[in-house]
Amino acid sequence: MILNLLVDYRGVLTHEAYYTAGEYSIPDDMPESYAKELVKAGRAVMVDEPTPLESLPEPEPEVKKIVTRRPRTRRKKAA
């Protein structure tokens, strides 16, 4: 789980521990209880983790339009 801290924070919600703005891994970098309180207070947002590329569906190939070229014709000169 990843938390994006919008502003630097040091206060009651984190028991006076100082955290600078940025992304934090929960529970490695910050306890989950701190993260929940910061999200409730509007100081942080939870970031969805990106899905691995293997699980994404393959894009459909583009349909190529076939255009035939017409032979050039000379225009008649006006008299």
Based on the structure, what is the number of domains in the chain?
Answer: 1
User: Which tokens go with 43?
Assistant: 């100081």
Report DSSP letters for 3-15, one per residue.
EEE-S-B-SGGGT
Q: Does residue 35 lie within any of the structural domains? A: yes
Q: Does residue 65 lie within any of the structural domains? A: no
pLDDT in tens, the chain (79 residues): 888 999 898 999 888 989 999 999 888 888 999 999 999 999 999 887 665 666 667 788 888 888 888 887 877 777 6
Report DSSP letters for 11-41, one per residue.
SGGGTT--B-SEEEETTTTS-HHHHHHHHHT
- What is the domain range of residue 9? 2-49
pLDDT at residue 52, as a whole number? 66
